[in-house]
Chains A and B, each alone.
Chain A
Amino acid sequence: MSETIRLRARGVVRGRAEGAALVADATLSFWGEVDPVSGKVIGKGHPLEGQSLAGRVLVIRSTRGSSATPMVLNLAKLENVAPAAFINVEVDSLAALGGIVNGIPMVTDLECSPFEVIRTGDYVVVDATEGVVEIRRTEAQASGGG
């Protein structure tokens, strides 16, 4: 048994991608808080510290922009450890640039708070071109497995 939730969102960086969600109601700086080679969050005390971003749909409040954000995303992409897509509450211009350059779709303005409907481990399809986010959850996850 599984459930699927479809939500509208505003596409920021066009494209379609899917993967397991990684969720934190927090900001994240790709410069200094993410290792582009392991793809892991290395920021001390960050709620996602130690987690890998590789292939994940990253659901966070926003990234904190740095000139080096697109560079870190580029290196992560080359090492195959970049996130698959961004679902952000606020759009950081440098993450948007990094998404455009590296082909990582981004959506914002989800019709409800992403932190209320998406849990870490949910399988999420982000279609930023159509402006749709689909959340697929198996029963095991729904009962608290995620």
Chain B
Amino acid sequence: MELTPDQRAILEGARGPYLAQCMRWLVEWGEVMGARRLVRCDNTHVLLCVPNLVARGASARTLETFAEGLKEACRHPVAPHCVATVHTLFVTLDPLDVPENDPGQVQVQREIAEMAARAGYLTTFTCAPYLVGNVPLKGEICAWTESSAVVYANSILGARTVRHGNESAIAASLLGVVPEFGVLLDENRRGTLLVEVRAELRHATDWGALGYFTGKIAGLGIPVFDGVRRPSQDEAKQLCAALATSGGVSMFHIAGVTPEAPTLEAAFGGKVPRERVIFTERDLRETYAALRNATGDEIEAVILGCPHASLREISRVARWLEGKRVADGVRLWINAARVTRSAADEMGFTALIEAAGGRILCDTCPTNMRIACRRLVTDGFKQAHYARGMTGAEVIVADTEACLRAAVTGRWMGDE
């Protein structure tokens, strides 16, 4: 890879050993991925989280060494031209009466959060940075972790980011550059798979079903959807998250809707699609059915806000819950970024949700925290997929209103 004299000097230690290591990560990664140069990056979304129950049973030494790695990263300032937001945690910084929120890990996470803020990171602790002010412009080069946010940035905003890991995103934040490969380049942003949608998408969760269905087929490719209307932001969020859950998709196009697909032809760069699939009403029904594995109708939890809820979603839940009561023995979680909850506090939505017995969970989500649950209902395909795989819960994925009906009755009553 060709480096400028300045970049080479950093690699050789001119700005100290940590930045030399960061530069080595970016250069070696770029070489592996076929990059020819480093390009300027003004926007990152990084992971700075202690593992909590992800590393259940790990030695104290492992946890200390891991945390020290994060602290070392936070001892170096974010590049002046770079906006750097921070991804979801595996703990919540709020007091929360569940055994899964290990107080020792929370304390270390707090120390890291304070150091990160001083280093110039915006400690948003969210999987949906685009809901809390990190909204890159079309063509802006970014370095984002969180695969669902990567899909949103590339597809809905027309910004450019490959899927990053914590070290590469931290290195990009400090050095303000990234290796140029993958969807950073025009030629890798063209569609590979045509998806003709012949099902009616009634609500955000149906868009999640379309994404979950397509991700399995698309693998690492770029699907192009044809025959769908313009999604709302919340619907787009579900589509992005589900595509990145069942597949390795980094971006998609919607013909006539997303910024780089004014027409179907433009989405494929004038080429003929390599593959074509049709998404029918039957596919829609079967996608739900295949993920649902509940063996009974009594539920323990309802989880909304995967990816983290928007203000609009919170307002809708709050108004629906007004005057109702979550059933005994059921936990209703609405996951959101801390700043979104602050706004919901101001607008009175938090009070309505709490009065009904629900709770807005900040910084994280129940699955990231590995909160044990026997049977849950959620409106997010991503949450259902990972809750089933990681916590062994029985899951039902359904539209938000059906989820709320389950929350107040304590039972899964069906979709309608």
Contact = CB atoms under 8 A, between A and B. Distances in A.
Interface string A35-67: 011100001100000000000000000001111
A72 B390 CA distance: 14
Most buried by B among A43, A65, A98: A65
A74 B69 contact: yes
Contacts of A68: 47, 54, 165-166
A142 interface: no
A100 B25 contact: yes
Nearest to A64: B248
Nearest to B390: A32
Interface string B246-262: 00100000000000000
Contact of B58 (A65, A79, A94): A79
A66 B385 CA distance: 14
B167 interface: yes
B375 interface: no
A133 interface: no
A48 to B, nearest CB: 15
Most buried by A among B32, B57, B65: B32
29 contacts: A13-B28, A32-B386, A36-B54, A36-B55, A37-B55, A37-B57, A37-B58, A64-B248, A65-B147, A67-B47, A67-B146, A67-B163, A67-B164, A69-B165, A71-B165, A71-B166, A75-B55, A75-B58, A79-B55, A79-B58, A79-B59, A91-B32, A92-B248, A93-B162, A93-B163, A96-B32, A97-B25, A100-B25, A100-B32
Interface of A: 12-13, 32-33, 36-38, 43-44, 64-72, 74-75, 78-79, 91-94, 96-98, 100-101
Contact of B165 (A33, A67, A79): A67
Given A32-B389, A75-B51, A65 B248 contact: yes
Interface of B: 25, 28-29, 32-33, 47, 51, 54-59, 61-62, 65-66, 69, 87, 145-147, 162-169, 181-182, 248, 386, 389-390
B29 A100 contact: yes
Contacts of B51: 36, 71, 75
A97 B26 CA distance: 9
B175 to A, nearest CB: 15
Contacts of A43: 389
A94 B163 CA distance: 8
A43 B392 CA distance: 10
Contacts of B56: 37
Per CB-CB distance, the 5 closest pairs between chain A and chain B, nearest first, are A67-B145, A70-B165, A78-B62, A97-B165, A96-B32
